[in-house]
Amino acid sequence: MNVVIEDRDQTPFRIEVGYFDTVLDIKTRINKHQGVPIDHQILTFNDKVLDDNDNVESCFITHNVHIELHIVKPDSNTALLLFKLRDPGSTYRLFQVMDISDSVLQCKHKLPKKTCTTNEEILVDPTDKVQVLRRALVELEKSRKLELPRGGYYFINKGHGMIDESRSFLENNVCHYDQIEIFDGTFTQ
């Protein structure tokens, strides 16, 4: 099965994993694919740091899930911290690599300025190609209701994986009331 590895500084990429592979096996594939040394990698999934000895099954990793890659140099003064952030009406968690000598205020200034979670309802026909959604989002951006990522973006159907914009919503298995997320960056096969 394929999983998506996301690093804040790079484009997400896919790797193939087996059901009984360990987290260390995943890190080895990341090292082979991206050149990131294994001892510099921390993987998180579902707000938990993954232990090297755990396997894919015990971590509940399934096809097309997104695993976050955090790069920390072992001999530096950096650590991976979990922040619980609150916006009006919602709470979310964010892992961030920080310098351990930083004060709380310095850490606060290093956090991303705004993790936008805008909910806009856009009505589409199931037989429409997904490109219709992109055009509707551009119109929302023009009316200042939404700010789209500048470096490009792609769509993910939460729970089903990446969406192919050249196909219809039906062909992408998008169902009524599915939540579609916008991911910053571009995707290359």
Average pLDDT value over all residues in the chain: 78
**20 lies in some domain:** yes
The reply to whether 33 and 89 lie within a common domain is: no
143 and 102 together in one domain: no
pLDDT, position 3 = 92
Instruction: Report pTM.
Output: 0.52
Same domain, 96 and 40: no
DSSP assignment of the chain equals -EEEEE-TTS--EEEE--TT-BHHHHHHHHHHHH---GGGEEEEETTEEPPTT-BTTTTT--TT-EEEEEE--TTSSEEEEEEEEEETTEEEEEEEEEETT--HHHHHHHS-S------------TTSBTHHHHHHHHHHHHTTS----TT-EEEEETTTEE--TTSBTTTTT--TT--EEEEES----
Domain that holds residue 42: 2-71
Query: Does residue 9 surpass a pLDDT of 80?
Result: no
* Same-domain pairing of 83 and 139: no
